[in-house]
Structures are given as C-alpha cells and as structure tokens.
Structure 1
Amino acid sequence: MRWSRALRRGTCAGLAMAGLLAFPASTAPAGAIPALVTAMVPGPSQRADFPELTPAVAARLDTAIRQVMREAGVPGVIVGLSAPGKGSYVRAFGVADKASGAAMSPGLYMRIGSETKTFTVTALLQLVDRGKLGLDDPIARYVDGVPNGDRITLRHLAGMRSGLFNYTEDDAFVKAFLADPERPFTPRQLLAYSFKHPVQFQPGETFAYCNTNTILLGLVVEKIGGRPLPEFVEKNVVAPAGLRHTVFPSGAAFPNPHAHGYTRQTASGEVEDATDWNPSWGWAAGAMISDLPDLRTWARVVATGTLLTPKTQAERLAMGPTGIPGTGYGLGIFTVHGWVGHNGSLPGYESLTIYLPEARATLVALVNTDIRYEGVAPGTLVGQAVTRVVTPDHEFVLPASPASPAPASPTTPVSPTTSASPASPRPSAPATGHGD
C-alpha cells in the first residue's frame, strides 16, 4: 500500500511513501501465515456482488470522489474502475497544474511510489522461476555488509519481515533529502543510512514495512539478472505485461504529459510543487512512473500471476499478518478486505492499484498530492470512497497514520501502499496513509 506510516515510524518507499501501507508490527508467528491465504485471497469461483456501472452508479461515484477532494483539499484525481460484464468507469477530476489551471486527464503520467515494489519483486520471482535463486537464500549470498545478512532471506525481505532499519527513518537521510530534494542518491548510499542502525527484530518475527528491504532486492535482481534494474524490469516485466507508458527513470526525468504533484514534506513545512524532485532515493522501492491505462492492466497481471508460474504466484499470495484486521502482506503485494495489490506514495503523488479476485474487478486511483487529511492518505480516501459505493462488503479501509509532533523531523507514509517518500511532518497537514 504506500502502506503508509510516518517516516520515523517506518516508511517504505512511500519516503512508503514510495509505497504506502501503514501497518503496525504484528507479533503473530511466521507459522500462522498459510492459514490466512484462503480467507484473504478468494478464489475465482467465488463471486462478489459487483454492480453494473450504470450512469446512476457513475453519478454516485462522481459525488463521492468530489466530496473527498473538497474535504481533503485534493487538487486532482484520476480513477479507473471496471469488471467483466459490468462496464467501465474512467474519470479525471480537478487540476493537474494549480499554476496554469490545466485540467486533470486520464492519460497523464504520474509517479507511483511504492507500487514500484510490485515490479521489483515480480522481477525477483521471475529469477526464482528460472532457477537462478531461491526465496530462502540468505541476502548475504548476494550483498555484502547486511546486518544479520546470514539469517535474513530473500523471502523475509520481500515479505517485510527482515528486521532491518528503514533508511527513510534515519535523521541524516531526512536532513539530506529535505536540504536538496533534487539530489540523486545511489542504492549503496541509501543502505548506509540503514546499516548504521542495529536490527529491529530477528528475521520472521514480525511485519514492519521497510524500504531498505526492496533496495536490497533490487541489487539482487541486478546481480543475478546481469543488467541494471531498470533495464531488467523493462525487458522482463514491463514489456511482457504489455505496458506502454510505464517507466523506471534513472533520475528526475518525467515523461510528458504529466501532472504536477504537491507536498508539504518540505524543509519549511509549506506546500511546494514536487514534480521535478529526484525519486532516486526510492529506487527499487519507489521510483517508477506510469499512467491509468497501464496500471489497470498491471492490477490484473500482478494479482493473478500472469508473469509467474502458479507455484511462485501462490507463494507470493501467502499473506502474512500485519496487525490490522482484514489485511495481509505477501511478497511485495498486500490484501485489504479482499482487494489485492499495492499502493504508493512519495512527495506530491499517491497511487492505488488493486484487484478484487471474486469479481475480477480492477480499481486504480491516482492523486497529485500526498498531503494527509486527518492522518489518512488521499489515495486511501479515494479508494475507500469508491469501494464504499461499489463493494461495501469489501471496503478499502486503512487506519490513519500518526503525524510526527516535531516539525523538524518529517515523517513518511508507507503503503501497501507505497511507498518511498518522506511524509508530512506537520500534524495539521492533510496527508495520505498507506504502502506507499
């Protein structure tokens, strides 16, 4: 999700916000994981009572989304909702650029934060399918210098159960980022912020959304895949999935046309245009860019395992407990009240891409702000508003994330959602939750 949580509480590329999920740590034993799978990821034989997307339902959705925008102060929103035999709902609301007043459009590129994790982990799982590595291999086999690296496995990293410190919670990282949001970071620089801290818990003991995990997996994909991560993801994930407008940028480059993004994750605490900020600090955990049509395709691909063997996809969907009822986190993917996918968040942008297996329904929401409203991420608010109308028995609900009381120490929402971005430090700032 951008499983979203405050930076200092554990952000994942949403700074989670590169992916936002704001899950508290769970103390459930690792052995409890398999029991959740059937209950949390329904089989295709089950059918949800998904409504036909008639003009009347569309009008209700329009009203619900506009209400969220009005109350939370969201500049612009793009939404795509569909299910076989039920029709399609595609809308854009508000503005893509507050300075010019340009309208939001369904075809605009957006930064997707922690949804990048779904691409990185898919690449990793493809290498598993090719027999190049194993999920229970220790990370020390591939990357030197990882604290507890001989005990932390690739499965622990992909499932957010490593115990490593989240680099986006490090004071020095936050200071460096806020001092110059356009500066580049390398993966090794990001890991250095994490590795100077002791491990938080032993591998597999609990769930804690952490961008450090996915940065390490990106390095593994590069090493075993034999090419830079963006190239490997493009050739083996993006292209085979049929995605034509999904990009893993090497820096701050942003294809046109794109929406401007607005954040309060700033040194001054004032709202700023973060459009050209460098997302390299999120890298494998939160740097990617996409658009509505591609994400509508990706929602189904990642949730159904189109690019993986059935065995590996089943392992991916083995949702472990997160500490929040009705939710679970697998290998770079989450479930929230039946919806399967991920969210993302980083300064200025939030995304939500989810799939409901029972109805084979897809929902994508893209927002050009990460400023929370009463502690809840705007992407989550939009997802909740839409699902409350069409699937009230499967409402996308995530709890609010606490804001840091110290303005000098910005926090980052993480989502199963997210994703890799620093979150707003001001309690008064409306912002998004989940990772991110």
Structure 2
Amino acid sequence: MRRTPTRRLFAAALLAAAVLAPMTAIPAAANHTAAIDRCDKDECRPGGLGPELTARLDKAVEKVRKEAGIPGVVVGLWMPGKGNYVRASGVADTATGEPMTTSPFVRIGSETKTFTVTAQLKLVDDKRIRLDDPIAKYIQGVPNGRRITLRHLAEMRSGLFPYSSDPDFVHDLLSDPQRPFTPRELLAYGFKHPNTFAPGKQFEYNNSNLILLGLVIEKVTGHRLADVIDKGVLHPAGLHRTLFPEGSEFPEPHPRGYTNQTLSGEVTDSTDWNPSWAWAAGAMISDLHDLRRWAKIVATGTLLSPETQRQRLKMLPTGHPGTSYGLGIFESDGWIGHNGSIPGYETVTVYLPSKKATLVLMLNTDITYEGQEPSSLVARAITEIVTPDNIYDRPVATPGVGR
C-alpha cells in the first residue's frame, strides 16, 4: 500500500500516524549471532539468560521481525545478576542477503536528542545558561521567543510548529535526500506557520525545539555543536564509536536502511541520505555497545550534577497513557531513555533503574506495521517476557519525517 509521506516523515519516534504496509520481498532467514558481551563486570554476570529464556526471546523477536517485515534487528539486553542476551537476526542487505551482525554502526535518529540536551544541561551546570532563560535571549526571530524558554524546548512544550511536518520541507527533502540543510533553513519551514499553543500548555514532539537548542549551544560556546558534543559528552562518557557526521558519511560496517518515506510511497534504500535535515534532533551515529553504556549514563546522570539530573527526570504527561517526557528523555512504564527513527533506521536505548537493566535495539527499517513503530513492537515483545511488570509500550507513530 502506498501512502502520502507528508504526514509522517520526521516527527521523531514518539507519537506518529498512518498505517503502513509491511515491507515485502525480505529474506526470512534469521542469523542469530552471540556477540562477545562487554558488560561491566559489576553490572551482569557473564553468559546468557539460560536456554529456556533465551529460546523464548529468540522466538518472540523472530516472530515480530517476520510479521512486521523487518529486514534485520540487533538486540542487546543486560540484566545484572541474571545475565545478558545479545543477538542479531535477519539481514543487513536485502539485495545480497548479507546477515545482520551485532557489530554495525547505525543511524540513531532522535536518540541524538539525549546528547544535545546533555550538552545543554552541562552548560546549565557551568552556569553559562539557565533553563528558564527565554530563547529570545540567544536566538532572534523565534515566534513568541520572549515567552518560550530553554526548558520548554527541551521538554517539547514550546508550541512552535514542527518544521519536519511542513509539506514544503517534506517535498524538498524527499526530492533530493542528498541535499544539505542548514539549521536556519530548517527553522524557516516551521516559523512560517503560527505557533500551535502557548508555551508550557501541552506536549508536542517537535524537532524545531532541538534545532534551536543546538544553535544556543553553538552561540554560548563559540564552537560547532558536533565538537561540543564530542568533547563535552562523548569523550567523558567513554563513547568511542559514536559520532556526529558532517554529511552523509557512514562508518563501516553498517547495514543498508530501508524506508517508504518517499514521494511515491515505494520502499527505497535510504542508507546514504544526508541527515543534516535532522541535525541536533537526529543526525548522530552509534553502535550497540556505546548505546548500552549511554543508556545508564543518561538515565542516572553521571555527567551532570544531581540537581540538574533531577530537573531532567521531572517527567510530565504527554497525553499518551504510560508515557511521560522530561528534558530530552522519556519514561515508558519505568524504562527511561529515548528511541530514534530516521528514514531507514530505528533504535531504542532504555534503562530500567529498578532492575538496573539495559535494553538496546537497532533496526534497519523505519516502516511502520499496523500503525506501530517496528522498534516498539520488538521492545514490547522482549519486555513482556523479561520484565512483565515494566513493559515498554510506545504509542503509535506521529506525523512528520523522522519520529
């Protein structure tokens, strides 16, 4: 079934619309590879979760993968005191049948927001900015910018119109997915629309908010956002396989990515699309074990002061039962973290404080199945088995590009 791309594209993985058909003609063969686990020795004991539980997880993941038409999926689950489950299933390339492995780089889409907001919050800790500063203090020309604060932007309550939901933006991007966009060009697509509500009045997932935060970080520091994140976030966190690309570069190895966010609605290979359109909201790249490490860091606030982390985790309702949102981070039935969706790829990186458990997923498609994010379907199937009292359950996908 074809569908109009202007309604879903890059809103960002929280909420989304449009029921899409599963991808067709995908090799069904699974490739389960047990990777070497790099768990910190104080986090989980070596070895798997036992043959019975492992078999249940294998079956559940493969069932969702086939039903939803997911080419390939990587799962990393680490449960202290119980063991771990690290698997790759399906294919990295539908044309060659190359099997998926547990070691590739992937585009992490909206998980980029956790890095951008962490960089913002480090500036708060350094007393260089305040969360309740109006955006107009730093960036001119923002509609209602004197009332919209940096806090509103990070918690998705600004009321600005999302540039990635603008039909002209969607057309311009999909007409030439290789073209570069500047942050100011992106904001212009949204700023031509009226604001949708008064600041702080409600939640609306919005990439425009993060583009503005990226510009604030650059203005305050005098450095490129990518360099600030690299030096101030990635290095202190010990993330050596996570990067903020300048263009469409993509380190090897990586799986091919598949999307139907196209002008025709047909499935296409979007591996080498330029992610500059997502910039501070969704352009970054990482791998399984860096994301595992990041899940605990961002959820527990290792890089921030206790007070700033408390502000970050002040979760507010989103209007979707079971899901709340803080400062660039969400909670879903106890799981804290973020997911990402960019044409061709989806990820989930979440941490469950009550059990000190970490779940990371990486998929090489963003095509929804019966209105559901494919990554959410996999995460739900896994958590129903391993943490039945804490089931990851994201709402259906939202309008716009890059959820």
TM-score by length of 1: 0.83
Is the 8 Å Cα contact of residues 16 and 113 (structure 1) preserved in structure 2?
Answer: no
Instruction: Deviation per CA, 1:151-199: give whole Å up to 9, x if none.
Output: 0000000000000000011111011011011111000000000111111
Say if 1:23 and 1:70 are closer, same or farther in 2 by CA, change over 3 A.
closer
* C-alpha separation in 2, matches of 1:198 and 1:62: 48
Unpaired segments of 5 or more residues in structure 2? Answer: 18-47
Amino acid at match of 1:342: H
Q: 2:14 aligns with which of 21, 25, 36?
A: 21
Q: 1:118 aligns with which of 114, 133, 137?
A: 114
> Which residue matches 1:55?
51
Q: Alpha-carbon deviation of 1:8?
A: 6.0
Instruction: Deviation per CA, 1:236-258: give whole Å up to 9, x if none.
Output: 10111111110100110000111
Give the number of equivalent residue pairs: 370
Amino acid at match of 1:201: F
* C-alpha separation in 2, matches of 1:194 and 1:203: 16
SS in 2 for 1:240: helix
The question of 1:193 aligning with 2:189 is answered yes
> Which runs of structure 2 are paired with 1:94-243 in the superposition (5 Å)?
94-243=90-239
Amino acid at match of 1:351: T
* C-alpha separation in 1, matches of 2:246 and 2:212: 17
* C-alpha separation in 2, matches of 1:362 and 1:308: 20
Q: Alpha-carbon deviation of 1:401?
A: 3.5
> Which residue matches 2:284?
288
Kindly report the root-mean-square deviation, in angstroms, between the aligned alpha carbons of the 2 structures. Answer: 1.5
Q: Alpha-carbon deviation of 1:400?
A: 2.5
Instruction: Deviation per CA, 1:366-419: give whole Å up to 9, x if none.
Output: 1000000000011101100110110111111123237xxxxxxxx43xxxxxxx
* C-alpha separation in 1, matches of 2:11 and 2:379: 17
Amino acid at match of 1:192: A
* C-alpha separation in 1, matches of 2:300 and 2:218: 25
Is the 8 Å Cα contact of residues 374 and 400 (structure 1) preserved in structure 2?
Answer: no
Q: 1:324 aligns with which of 292, 299, 320?
A: 320
Amino acid at match of 2:196: Q
* C-alpha separation in 2, matches of 1:300 and 1:89: 17
Amino acid at match of 1:354: V
> Which residue matches 1:250?
246
Amino acid at match of 2:231: K
Amino acid at match of 1:378: P
Is the 8 Å Cα contact of residues 349 and 368 (structure 1) preserved in structure 2?
Answer: yes
SS in 2 for 1:307: coil
Q: 1:360 aligns with which of 347, 356, 361?
A: 356
* C-alpha separation in 2, matches of 1:7 and 1:351: 21
The question of 1:381 aligning with 2:374 is answered no
The question of 1:271 aligning with 2:267 is answered yes
Is the 8 Å Cα contact of residues 324 and 331 (structure 2) preserved in structure 1?
Answer: yes
Amino acid at match of 1:99: A
* C-alpha separation in 1, matches of 2:214 and 2:306: 23
Is the 8 Å Cα contact of residues 23 and 209 (structure 1) preserved in structure 2?
Answer: no
SS in 1 for 2:389: helix
> Which residue matches 1:44?
none
> Which residue matches 1:427?
none
SS in 2 for 1:293: helix
Is the 8 Å Cα contact of residues 167 and 191 (structure 1) preserved in structure 2?
Answer: yes
Q: 2:396 aligns with which of 389, 395, 400?
A: 400
Say if 1:263 and 1:23 are closer, same or farther in 2 by CA, change over 3 A.
closer
* C-alpha separation in 1, matches of 2:267 and 2:321: 34
* C-alpha separation in 2, matches of 1:225 and 1:56: 52
* C-alpha separation in 2, matches of 1:68 and 1:173: 33
TM-score by length of 2: 0.89
Amino acid at match of 1:93: S
Q: Alpha-carbon deviation of 1:23?
A: 7.6
* C-alpha separation in 2, matches of 1:92 and 1:7: 30
Is the 8 Å Cα contact of residues 11 and 165 (structure 2) preserved in structure 1?
Answer: no
